[in-house]
Structure 1
Amino acid sequence: MKLAHNVYLILVLLFSSVAVNAESDPSGKRTLMVLGDSISAAYGMKPEEGWVALLDKRLATQNISTVNASISGETTAGGLARLEALLAKYQPDWVIVELGGNDGLRGYPVNRMKANLAGIIEQSQSASADVLLIGMQIPPNYGKRYTRMFSEAYPALAEQYGITLVPTFLESVAVKPDAMQEDGIHPNASAQDQLLAVAWPEIQRMIQE
């Protein structure tokens, strides 16, 4: 009888342990991941000054944590190559994609850039993450045809995959010399609030859906 009693206790403890481990995170905290380049990696400033860090502070009040997976110099091909591991590690509920600027500055074929962005969107959606795409702009010195094809890639992808688009992320600050760093490409610390203000309505809409 003593042996049977011990076996019973072991079974009770085993099933109790399984039940506890099966419970979801009681905090209910969700995760938003930003996959970007130097614009989101706070290039030329302290990390806490960047727009993603400002977004993290704002989302903290909504029980949402932010992962900044942005790297200065990143291309769409680099982001796509890193994405699978990032999705597995962080399991984000939302992914903000801010890529393509470096592809454009290097004159990469738009079709290749578009295919990489499509792969990022598809992988994120397959991992049950909602996607927000941030449209980028390039200088006009690459020619009218290339510039047009580049700018049209973002709304076309947003329509194809039914995702949210921020169409003109840098436009409001790029025309203000006092909002840009000396290179004329990267917004400075004083412009980060404005970048967040441009993206915030669409971010808010996405996380509330």
Structure 2
Amino acid sequence: MRQGYMRERTRTVGVLGYLVMTLAMGLATLGAPVAEAGPARTVLVMGDSLSAAYGLAPEEGWVALTAEQMARQTPGWRVVNASVSGETTAGGAARIEGELARNQPAVVVIALGGNDGLRGLSLKQTRANLEKLVSAAKASGARVLLVGMRMPPNLGKAYTEGFAANYRAVAEAHKVSLLPFLLEPIAMERASFQSDNIHPVAAVQPKLRDHVWPALAPLLK
């Protein structure tokens, strides 16, 4: 009988030991740090008032709407909107190195030039500035989407055609993605613009988002 008692006691001790070891492993697992997701990759937008949501609440602009779409469709990305109302390509070229260093983007969207055209600035200088913007972004290791603009015909055929050609030439020379005209979906609709006839209203910002998205999305893969 004593031998049976000893066998039972040994079995009980063994079971208790197993339970203690299992519990200890479980507690260790609970206490272990959980691996965190890596930092979000950044899309940096360098634009002017058309991208800075001029005359609108910031969340109504196409850039903010694009950030929301990215959160739904391409999680792990964020948008930094470094657009400044009134910005020219020269202003963007002067700022881009600082923005690149500060945000370390994986993708850069360059949507500048409209203010150059409205001021009748030199096409040669505008192209040189676009070259600098694209070159700096590429040198940082970022992929680039160049977003173009068009000028009204009252500036003359030579200027308007040369202005549009600048974007094509820069995109081809640097082998970057090009969206030729940001406002293409709404350009001929007067009701799509604010009273200044330059800046789009809030209601059409989703159209701009949807226009940019097919060009941007491939760069997020």
The whole-number CA distance in structure 1 between the counterparts of 2:77 and 2:47 is 19
Corresponding position of 1:43? 54
Q: What aligned pairs does 1:92-131 form with structure 2 within 5 A after superposition?
A: 92-131=105-144
> What displacement does 1:171 show?
2.1
Moved over 6 A (4+): none
Maintained 8 Å contact 1:105/1:138: yes
Corresponding position of 1:73? 86
> What displacement does 1:58 show?
1.2
The whole-number CA distance in structure 1 between the counterparts of 2:164 and 2:137 is 22
The whole-number CA distance in structure 2 between the counterparts of 1:68 and 1:56 is 10
Is residue 201 of structure 1 aligned with residue 218 of structure 2? no
Spell out, residue by residue over 1:167-194, the C-alpha distance to the aligned partner (whole angstroms, 9 max, x if none): 1221221211221111111111011000
Amino acid at match of 1:52: V
**Residue 63 of structure 2, aligned match among 52, 56, 59:** 52
> What displacement does 1:28 show?
4.2
- Give me the TM-score of the superposition, normalised by structure 1: 0.86
How many equivalent residue pairs? 185
**Residue 175 of structure 1, aligned match among 188, 191, 201:** 188
Is residue 138 of structure 1 aligned with residue 176 of structure 2? no
Task: Give the secondary structure class of the aligned counterpart of 1:173.
Answer: coil
Q: Which moved more, 1:59-68 or 1:31-40?
A: 59-68
> What displacement does 1:143 show?
0.7
- Structure 2: stretches of 5+ with no match in the other structure: 1-35
Amino acid at match of 1:149: G
Amino acid at match of 1:187: P
The whole-number CA distance in structure 2 between the counterparts of 1:206 and 1:30 is 12
Maintained 8 Å contact 1:95/1:131: yes
Task: Give the secondary structure class of the aligned counterpart of 1:172.
Answer: coil
> What displacement does 1:49 show?
0.1
Amino acid at match of 2:199: H
Corresponding position of 2:168? 155
Maintained 8 Å contact 1:174/1:187: no
The whole-number CA distance in structure 2 between the counterparts of 1:27 and 1:54 is 24
Maintained 8 Å contact 1:93/1:128: yes
Corresponding position of 1:16? none
Task: Give the secondary structure class of the aligned counterpart of 1:104.
Answer: helix
**Residue 188 of structure 1, aligned match among 165, 182, 201:** 201
- Structure 1: stretches of 5+ with no match in the other structure: 1-24
> What displacement does 1:44 show?
0.5
User: How much identity, in percent, do the aligned residues show?
Assistant: 46
**Residue 32 of structure 1, aligned match among 43, 56, 59:** 43
> What displacement does 1:154 show?
0.6
Amino acid at match of 1:38: S
The whole-number CA distance in structure 1 between the counterparts of 2:158 and 2:127 is 15
Q: Which moved more, 1:55-64 or 1:156-165?
A: 55-64
> What displacement does 1:47 show?
0.3
Task: Give the secondary structure class of the aligned counterpart of 1:171.
Answer: coil
